[in-house]
Structure 1
Amino acid sequence: MNKQSIQIALAYMSVVIGGGFASGQEVLQFFTGFGMIGIVGTLVSGLLFAFLGMQIARMSSKMQANSHKEVLCILFGARVGLVVDLVLSFFLYGVGVVMLAGCGSIFAQQYGLPPLFGGVLMTALVIATLCLNVTRIINLISAVMPFLLAMVLLITCYSIFSYNAPVEVLDAVARENNETVSSNWVVGALLYASFNIAVGFPMLAVIGGLTKQPKAAALGGVFGGLGLGLLILVLNIGLFANINQLQGVEMPTLALASRISPILSMVMSVALICMIYSTAVGMFFAFSARFAKPESTRFKGFSAISVCIGLALSLGGFSKLVGTVYPLLGYVGFALILAIAYSWIRNRSGATVEVQKSKLNPLV
């Protein structure tokens, strides 16, 4: 695996792993709530991440795509591709709203402050960043990603080996006392992969287009997807091992950290806020840039208004929004998955026909 493959793999993982994943609420509703069988669900999602990442990166590399819109046009055609792009833009806005709610939940759970306090603080930070174009702040926050991942892995690994209830009891508690995005674990696994692909598709398409070697791009997509699958698996097992102590908790990983140390819990809360900030800025920027030129006066005004509206919508609560917005985005992502799968089958069929022709007529 060369340098380009590694860069694509890391970029793929960083786009998908946002504040929702790090909080543990996503994994709780998409996997852990199904009990032991949810572990199989994480494997299904991991394989889908690898396959879809491979296809998107390779297709973008072959096209030398400058924008995800070019890839959408190939997958759906010009008119339908435009509709899909607009729908994705509005759902990315929904993810930004969820991030505002997540910040409110952190301040409520960790510091005992009203959720609105955290939501208003994050709203002000996001608007300031979008209006002032404080790129250094975003770059600084991006550096939190490896630190946050290390913390999540350490906390969950510790939690796996410190569980205090039989597996049968944990399985029963997980199934009976937790809301899931679907009544079926297979649908939950598919939804998780599809909504994350919908969120990560624009960035992955652009990064793949910067690579002139389709094989290297495809390899990066595969390893990035497998890495995501591994992270989800570890976090899911950690949450499952302690599910009897996570009932009604908005930020599961923060709750696990508080069981280990109050100081660790405080550090984890700051890291989560940074991750949520980074994700929120990315989502609201992508949404506003769809309707106004970045850095223009119109862009700044549109961003400020859209983020304030997002604050009002975020009052619905973090866990409720995760269970509503993300599954809906997942159903939209199904269209992407089907289009990518159809493109893959069509290309394989075309390649098979060419091989058969060459065998029948060596001069071709």
Structure 2
Amino acid sequence: MNKHSLQIALAYMSVVIGGGFASGNEVLQFFSGYGVAGVAGSVISAVLFAFLGMQIARISSVMQAASHKQVLYIMFGKQAGLVVDLILSFFLYGVGVVMLAGAGSTLAQQFGLAPLIGSVLMTVLVIGTLCLNVRGIINLISVVMPFLLVLVLAIMVYSIYTSSAAVEELTQVATEVPVITFLGADVPHWALSGLLYASFNIAVGFPMLAVIGGLIKSPKAAARGGMAGGLGLGFLIILLNIGLFTNLDKLQGVEIPTLMLAQNIHPWLAVLLSIALVCMIYSTAVGMFFAFSARFAAPETNRFKVLSAVFAVVGLGLSQVGFTKLVGTVYPMLGVVGLVLIIAIAASWIRTRNHSAEELASEAKRLS
């Protein structure tokens, strides 16, 4: 795997592994509540991550896409592509709201603060970053990603190794864990939950992956990078799921599961993880609110700054619904958008796999 493939793989993983993933709340609701079968659900997500990452990166590279909208236009046509783009932007805003709630839950669980305090602090940081253009902070926060991954992996491996609960006991506890809801009802099967989890995350990662794939001249290198990133994500999800399942007896009613497991190992480890989580939540929140505000105003303009502040404050109000409830509501609905993308990606790949770069580029230019 060359450096271009590695760049795509790391970028793919970075955009998906945000505060929600590392908190363990997503994985707990999507997989752990199904017991041992939830591991099979996480394997389904892993396979889909690899396939979808490979196809998005390949198609984007072949057509040298400069924007994810070009890829959407290729898959849906100009009018339908615009509608999908707007719907996608709306739900990505919802992810930003979830991050504000996640900041409140993290600080509440670790430091005993009222959830509103953490959410307000994160909202102020987001507004300050978007209005004052503190780009260096975002670059600095990106350094936290490797540290966070190593920390979470170490916590999971240690927690799996030291778990003493019997599988039968854990399976019984799993029946009491709230699973993800979809259209007002619990998702009835682990396989469907695995599909929804992959579709949600591909909806979140699609815009960045499409743009980065377009920067790579070799479609094969881009495809390898997308597949490698998807397999890496799959490995992390499976390990995190196993770690949470083997400790379900300690995690009932906990909003930030990984933080609780860190606390059980050592209080200072929990402090380090909480700081890393807040940094990742901050980075994800800024990215989501920036993308949403950019739909209505050019970045760095006064209009953009005002709208960013308004959207963030509205998001603060919405975030008070609660972290766990928002994850269980926003993510499955975004998963519906992701399902549409998955179908379109597969159909587009079948339709365009034999097209030349010139043919795809010409079609993209016609539709843009």
* Count of residues paired in the alignment: 351
Distance in 1 between the 2:92 and 2:285 partners?
Answer: 9
Q: CA deviation at 1:174?
A: 1.0
Q: How many angstroms does 1:349 deviate by?
A: 8.2
1:217 counterpart (222, 225, 234) = 222
Using a 3 Å threshold, how does the CA distance of structure 1 residues 110 and 212 change in structure 2: closer, same or farther? same
Residue in 2 aligned with 1:48? 48
The one-letter amino acid paired with 1:102 is G
Quote the Cα distance in structure 1 between the aligned partners of 2:313 and 2:58: 38
Q: CA deviation at 1:350?
A: 8.0
**Alpha-carbon distance, 1:137 to partner:** 0.4
d(CA) in 2 for partners of 1:316, 1:329: 17
Q: Could you report, residue by residue, the CA deviation over 1:116-136 in whole angstroms, capped at 9, with x for unpaired residues?
A: 000000000000000001010
Please name the residue that 2:252 is paired with. 247
Superposed, 1:61-80 pairs within 5 Å as: 61-80=61-80
Alpha-carbon contact 2:35-2:175 (below 8 Å) kept:
yes
Partner amino acid for 1:47? V
SS of equivalent to 2:298: coil
Structure 1 residues 175 and 238: alpha-carbon distance in aligned structure 2, compared to 1, 3 A threshold: same
1:203 maps to 208
Deviates more, 1:253-262 or 1:181-190: 181-190
1:180, distance to aligned residue in structure 2 (A): 2.9
Q: Residue by residue, what CA displacement relative to the aligned partner does 1:148-193 show, whole Å, maximum 9, x if unpaired? A: 0000000000000111210111112112333333121111101100
Correspondence for 1:227 among 229, 232, 246 = 232
Matches within 5 A, 1:258-277: 258-277=263-282
> How far, CA to CA, are the matches of 1:349 and 1:295 in structure 2?
41
Number of the residue aligned with 2:341: 336
- Which residue in the other structure is 1:346 paired with? 351
What residue is the counterpart of 2:148 in the other structure? Answer: 148
Matches within 5 A, 1:11-50: 11-50=11-50
Instruction: Specify the alignment match of 2:300 in structure 1.
Output: 295
SS at match of 1:165: coil
Contact persistence 1:178–1:247 (CA under 8 A): no
1:318 is the counterpart of 2:330? no
Question: Residues 91-140 of structure 1: CA distance to partner in whole angstroms, max 9, x if unpaired?
Answer: 01000000000000011111111000000000000000000010100000
- Aligned pairs for 1:87-102 (under 5 A) are 87-102=87-102
Q: Partners of 2:155 and 2:230 in 1: how far apart?
A: 22
Instruction: Say whether the 8 Å CA contact 1:34–1:180 is kept in structure 2.
Output: no
Question: For the aligned residues, what is the CA RMSD?
Answer: 1.1
Q: Structure 1 residues 244 and 316, CA, compared in 2 at 3 Å: closer, same or farther?
A: same
Is the CA contact 1:127–1:303 (under 8 Å) kept in the aligned structure 2?
yes
Question: Distance between the aligned counterparts of 1:35 and 1:123, measured in 2?
Answer: 36
Amino acid of the residue matched to residue 227 of structure 1? Answer: G
Letter in 1 for 2:24: G
Deviates more, 1:337-346 or 1:16-25: 337-346
Whole-angstrom distance in 2 between the partners of 1:347 and 1:57: 13
Q: Report whether the alignment pairs 1:109 with 2:109.
A: yes
Are the equivalent residues in 1 in contact too, given 2:35–2:245 (CA < 8 A)?
yes
Q: Which residue of 1 is the match for residue 131 of structure 2?
A: 131
Match of 2:174 in 1: 174
**Structure 1 CA distance for aligned equivalents of residues 151 and 234 of structure 2:** 18
SS in 1 for 2:162: coil
Deviation by residue 1:278-333 (Cα, 9 ceiling, x = unmatched):
00000000000111000000000000000000000000000000000000000111
Query: Could you tell me how far apart the structure 1 residues matched to 2:264 and 2:36 are?
Result: 23
Q: Which has the larger radius of gyration?
A: 1
1:273 CA drift (Å): 0.4
Whole-Å separation in 2 of the counterparts to 1:30 and 1:222 = 22
Question: Is the alpha carbon distance of 1:350 and 1:288 closer, same or farther for their aligned partners in structure 2, counting shifts above 3 Å?
Answer: closer
Q: How far off is 1:347 after superposition?
A: 3.7
TM-score between both structures, scaled by the size of structure 1? 0.95
Amino acid at match of 2:191: V
Structure-2 residue corresponding to 1:361: none
In structure 1, C-alpha distance between the alignment counterparts of 2:177 and 2:142, rounded to whole Å: 35
CA distance in 2, matches of 1:210, 1:261: 44
Long gaps (5+) in structure 1? 352-364
Q: Secondary structure at the match of 1:284?
A: helix
